[in-house]
Amino acid sequence: MKIIHTSDWHIGRTLYGRKRYNEFEAFLDWLAELIEKENIDVLLVAGDIFDTSTPSNRAQEIYYRFLCRVSLSCCRHVVVIAGNHDSPSFLNAPKELLRVLNVHVTGSAPENLEDEVLVLKDPAGKSELIVCAVPYLRDRDIRTVEAGESIEDKNIKLVQGIKDHYGDVCQIAREKQKEAGNIPIVAMGHLFTAGGKTVDGDGVRELYVGSLAHVGRDIFPSFIDYIALGHLHVPQKTGDSENMRYCGSPIPMGYGEANQKKSVVLVEFEKNESENNVPKISIQPVPTFQKLIKISGDLDSITGKIKELKTSSSKAWLEIEYTGEDIAANLRESIDEAVAGSEIEVRKIRNKRIIDRIISRMDEEETLDDLNVEDVFTRCLDARGIPEEKRPLYIETYKETLKSMYEEEQDM
């Protein structure tokens, strides 16, 4: 049996205002072709299908068109779980209709945990795979709030709640495995594991366990044969475990990911009569559908690099960071002139000249787009003169407030 593990599509995401629908369509076309080429049986999508809780009509069209295409292919089952960017109610709304196409959706933690355990059948109707389709777990799904709790108490309860949830769901899967015979068990999740790698500008929200607590490998029972994770955009194993992986995002979400090798994970189980189902794992590289390039330097080096790109007929989208010591009064005009007559797009220009950084902490061209919500809060603490020793409590409380607001927004 062959399985593809993918996640963090973020359909609808923009880059400095530039819509990227062509990239999402190109990736999903490539993925559908890979499924047919490799004769894939099951597709696992580990959350963050959309970039917002209210995806545009175009984003929805891309998603549903892909599901219809895959349902008509060799792929017998698609399993989709919600991520922290997704609206649980939005994903769940068509789940009964999608089930007819063998697309199984888990948007939120159900009242009956057995609903998170899927026993997938082969064409002959014989059970061939058990999937623990656990979506992004929210605070209210896994812990109760008590008066007087410290941040540490909340973190401990969060981690324990996640561990208990997976323990219960996986135990149900274990019982179903005994009934079905020695078939593999795969667990899915959208969370932040301890030691996970992120990069600047990847858009991974610090609104869940990523900021409040990191879970360890031990939350997953040892009898799970493969663990398909989403949330982190860097493809990676978790610790030394070959069978517990983040596949990463399929396209770079920002310039911090521009030089990253994107991939999906191909997991293959052989028919095995022994007690253990050991998967064969291979990484399938995803092509680059839109080149992102960051250029830093003084004006001469920036324009020189642009000329090189024009010579190669590049269609790259550029983020430019000016670091020269001279005051570049007409920086924008010079760069526009340099790219004229090409298909290169300049998505962002940052003016980081040294003399400005000496005069002021804030660049003259700095806008709210250059700051994240934590940067803004830090500026507020600075303005209020809050001493360093008191800041950790303020920051953790602020993060928790943001998380609560965000989860309420996702339910709308």
Give me the chain's average pLDDT, please.
86
- The answer on 175 and 319 residing in a single domain is no
236-238 and 226-230: which strand pairing?
A: unpaired
Residue of 366 and 6 predicted with greater confidence: 6
- Residue-wise pLDDT tens digits, 315-368: 999 999 998 877 777 888 999 999 999 999 999 998 876 435 544 554 445 555
Among residues 285, 303, 335, the one where a domain terminates is: 285
Q: Are residues 274 and 315 in the same domain?
A: no
pLDDT band at 245 (very low <50, low <70, confident <90, very high): very high
295: pLDDT strictly greater than 90: yes
User: Tens of pLDDT along 187-207?
Assistant: 999 998 866 777 665 556 544
pLDDT of residue 115: 95
Residues 167 and 111 in one domain: yes
What predicted TM-score, i.e. pTM, was given to this entire model? 0.84
Residue 256 sits in the same domain as residue 355:
no
Q: How many CA atoms lie within 13 A of 293 on its CB side?
A: 15
What share of the chain has pLDDT > 90, as a percent?
61
| pLDDT number for residue 196 | 72
Q: Could you tell me the CA-to-CA distances from 85 to 108, 133, 173, 206, 229 in Å, in that order?
A: 12, 17, 27, 12, 15
Same domain, 17 and 92: yes
Average pLDDT over residues 123-140: 92
Q: Where is mean pLDDT largest: 2-11, 267-276, 326-335?
A: 2-11
> Would you state the pLDDT for residue 31?
98
Asked if pLDDT for residue 211 goes beyond 60, the answer is no
**Domain count for the chain:** 2
Say whether both 225 and 369 belong to one domain.
no
* Last-in-domain residue among 268, 285, 302: 285
pLDDT (0 to 100) of residue 210: 39
Strands 317-322 and 292-297: parallel
Do 277 and 296 lie in a common domain?
no
Question: For residue 401, what pLDDT is reported?
Answer: 72
pLDDT score, position 13: 95
If asked whether residues 281 and 343 sit together in one domain, one would say: no
Beta bridge partners of 266: 4, 282
| Domain limit, last residue, from 239, 267, 285 | 285
Residues 318 and 269 grouped into a single domain: no
Q: Which CATH number goes with the domain that contains 275?
A: 3.60.21.10
Cα–Cα separations (whole angstroms), residue 121 to 41, 177, 187: 10, 13, 17
pLDDT tens, residue by residue, 365-379: 555 555 566 777 887
Res 360: pLDDT: 52
> Do 48 and 126 reside in the same domain of the chain?
yes
Per the model's pLDDT, the better-predicted residue between 75 and 367 turns out to be 75
DSSP 304: H
278 and 401 inside one domain: no
Residues 126 and 226 in one domain: yes
C-alpha 181: how far from chain center: 34
Percent of the chain with pLDDT over 70: 85
Q: At 339, which CATH number?
A: 3.30.160.720
- Residue 90, domain extent: 2-285
